[in-house]
Structure 1
Amino acid sequence: MKNFLSMSKSLEYSSVAIGKFDGVHIAHKKLFKYLDDNSCVLVIHKSHSKFLTPLKIREKLISKPSYKLPFKDIHSWDGERFADFLDKKLPNLKRIVVGYDFRFGKDKSYGADDLKSLFKAEVLIVPEIKIENLPLHSSIIRELIGFGDIKLANKLLGRNYSLEGGVICGQNLGSKELYPTINIKTQSFVLPGNGVYASFTHFKSRVFPSVSFVGNRLSTDRHFSIETHILDKNIELEEKTIQIEFVDKIRDNRHFENLSELKHQISLDIKNAKDILNT
């Protein structure tokens, strides 16, 4: 995603949406519908955060041209400076679209309503959206994912939550004693609560039904791991990065007395995953 601040020329867009857009969830997509055909999206980006969707994924999910607006460079600006900046960068701007809770400027002292007095352009403020009586915010979705309520989180996202990670070596125990798994290490993503999930695993430009685990391996070495077992497939993996898409939680993480008990439980997890995924 290109840095909006470094764009040397004025851009000819007539409408713009501004916000963090982490998650690119249902409320964000509704906001984008108010943009015209000649529009762009400014993504206010804070570095060193745990994201629902890192920038490279956000760019794929946003249907309009999108640009990064680093928070560290603009957080101390007053409202007038922010308005002057947008006027110069987007001289043909006729509409600004933001959510009702949009804040900007030094100490976040300016709100969405302040935009109306600062800009000659039309300012459209999209009201709050609720699903199952929950306000649709990225922070709420983060909490749901962290609690393991992935099904409700997916409903608010409007898609299944997914994360990417680099493939790493595991214990080599699964293929010998249990079920073979692909182990990954990931950074910057919000992690689902510890447990076992019905999932889809993406690699080789294909999607495979799977059962995935997040948490400490309580029955073996107690180390934290993220691993996925591909259902009914023997996979020779050459990819360095894979994506896991979480559909629904099957059970919490727990300790088993021996590998035989653990293997039996995994077989039940696989059956449940197949039922959930309709495979």
Structure 2
Amino acid sequence: MLESPRRPERPVLTIGNFDGLHRGHRAITEVVRTRAAALAGTAVVYTFDPHPRKVLQGEHAPGMLLTLDQKLELFEAAGMDLVVLEPFDAAFAATPPERFVRECIHEHIGPKEVYVGYDFHFGKDREGSMRLLTEMGPHLGFSVTVIPEVTVDGRDVNSTRIRTLLAEGEVAEAAALLGRAYAVRGEVVRGDQRGRTLGFPTLNLARESEILPCDGVYAGHVRFLDAGDPAPGTALPAVTNVGRRPTFKDHEPSAAEAHLLDFEGEVYGRHIELSFSHRIREERKFEGPEALREQIARDADEARRLLGA
């Protein structure tokens, strides 16, 4: 899953940003995987870090749906043999489309077949078109196939649509487009211990991920990623609050804190992934701690029901 100094054997290639690695992207990687297997070749992804929009749009770029680690793990799970991770900066952004195809694709990777999405553009100012790629490919020894869009409910699956759904708290709909529950990553850090005093201790997340769903209460899972107890890979059901804790504080930035259902133990410092499967309710201010405690108990019961826990 790392860039190799040598050309891969009989590479079957896809190129793109793959923000979210959603069902539309997975349609492409599945074709790449099956074609590479048929050719006894290598399934290769050529992608960029940081995302080009982070360089070209700066602070106006949208938040990303995946951390780099999440993206690489999902590529591996999708059966990709090799990820070529191109450092993207202003100098690389100025690469003419013809040079990109000839040097970055042909000379560096040497693909036999290339598969890209229907909206693929490349090179300086995104001037490179599918027409240019399909014209140059055969002269350089590779075929080019465009994978059509994937639709859900009559609309195409794309990262912008998923970000909009998350901003609206529609995590179940976002999961339908992603092919999995949306999840964020980070480290468990100490909070103000208020959840513990209410009888519902929480994991406070110092998140690495850029996007949280909108403020509210959600059911999902906490998956442990590093060594410790629980063991790495363990996923436990949780009820999660995203928001500013208005019963106790005002004007706080939104944060995520998860209560593990029917679990006792200290996990400070652990690296976790927190998923959002169902939205239970909006975040709201309560009259006091006791009213909040009673509502959290109801939220936990609803999370158990939704998750079958």
TM-score, scaled to structure 1? 0.92
Q: Quick one: which amino acid aligns to residue 276 of structure 1?
A: L
- Consecutive unaligned residues of structure 2, counting only runs of 5 or more, are 55-61, 225-229
2:21 is the alignment partner of 1:24: yes
Shift of 1:13: 3.8
Residue 84 of structure 1 is aligned with which of 86, 96, 102? 102
Residue 136 of structure 2 is aligned with which of 102, 118, 126? 118
Equivalent residue for 2:83, pick from 66, 75, 89: 66
- Who is 2:47 aligned against? 43
Kindly tell me: are residues 225 and 188 of structure 1, through their superposed partners in 2, closer, same or farther at Cα, counting changes over 3 Å?
Answer: closer
Which of 238, 242, 245 is the aligned partner of 1:210?
A: 238
Matches within 5 A, 1:55-204: 55-62=68-75, 63-64=79-80, 65-72=82-89, 73-85=91-103, 86-91=105-110, 93-120=111-138, 121-203=142-224, 204=230
Distance (Å, rounded) in 1 between the aligned partners of 2:209 and 2:258: 19
Query: Is residue 15 of structure 1 aligned with residue 45 of structure 2?
Result: no
Instruction: Give SS of 1:180's match.
Output: coil
Identity of aligned residues (%): 29
Counterpart of 2:116 in 1: which secondary structure?
Answer: strand
Do the aligned residues in 1 keep the contact of 2:186 with 2:206 (CA within 8 Å)?
yes
- Structure 1 residues 13, 56: CA separation in 2 closer, same or farther (over 3 Å shift)? farther
| Alignment check: 8 A CA contact 2:205 2:255 kept | yes
Q: CA deviation at 1:178?
A: 4.4
Matching residue's letter, 2:64: F
CA distance in 2, matches of 1:75, 1:178: 53
Match of 1:250 among 257, 271, 280: 280
1 or 2, which has the higher helix percentage? 2
Deviates more, 1:253-262 or 1:229-238: 229-238
After TM superposition, the runs of 4+ consecutive aligned structure 1 residues lying more than 4 A away are none
Q: Write out per-residue CA displacement over residues 63-86 of structure 1, whole angstroms, 9 at most, x where no aligned residue.
A: 212121233253211121012112
- Which moved further from structure 2: 219-228 or 48-57? 48-57
Bigger shift: residues 47-56 or 186-195: 47-56
3-state SS of 2:277 partner: strand
Structure 2 distance, partners of 1:229, 1:255, is 18
- The reply on whether 1:277 has 2:302 as its aligned counterpart is no
Q: Could you tell me how far 1:245 is from its partner in structure 2? A: 1.2
- Give distance in 2, aligned partners of 1:74 and 1:117: 23
Q: Deviations over 1:125-177 (max 9, x none)?
A: 01111101231011211111121100000010001111111111111111113
**Distance in 1 separating the partners of 2:47 and 2:256:** 29
For each residue in 1:94-115, what CA deviation from the matched residue of structure 2 results, as whole angstroms up to 9, or x when unmatched? 2111000011111111222321
Shifted more, 69-78 versus 138-147: the winner is 69-78
Which has more strand, going by share of residues? 1
**Partners of 2:49 and 2:154 in 1: how far apart?**
28
Aligned partner of 2:297 in structure 1 is 267
Instruction: Measure, in 2, the Cα distance between the counterparts of 1:258 and 1:52.
Output: 35
> Is 1:54 paired with 2:71?
no
Partner Cα separation in structure 1 for residue 130 and residue 17 of structure 2 = 14
Q: 1:209 to 1:253 in 2, by over 3 A?
A: same
Letter in 1 for 2:68: L
Residue 179 of structure 1 and its aligned partner are, at CA, apart by: 1.3
TM-score, scaled to structure 2: 0.84
User: Separation in 1 of the partners of 2:175 and 2:157?
Assistant: 12
Measure the CA separation in 1 of the matches of 2:49 and 2:167.
22
The AA in structure 1 aligned to 2:248 is: T
Q: CA deviation at 1:202?
A: 1.4
| Structure 1: tracts of 5 or more residues without a match | none
**1:225 matches 2:238:** no
- Contact preservation (8 Å) 2:184, 2:208: no
SS at match of 2:246: coil
CA distance in 1, matches of 2:125, 2:265: 52
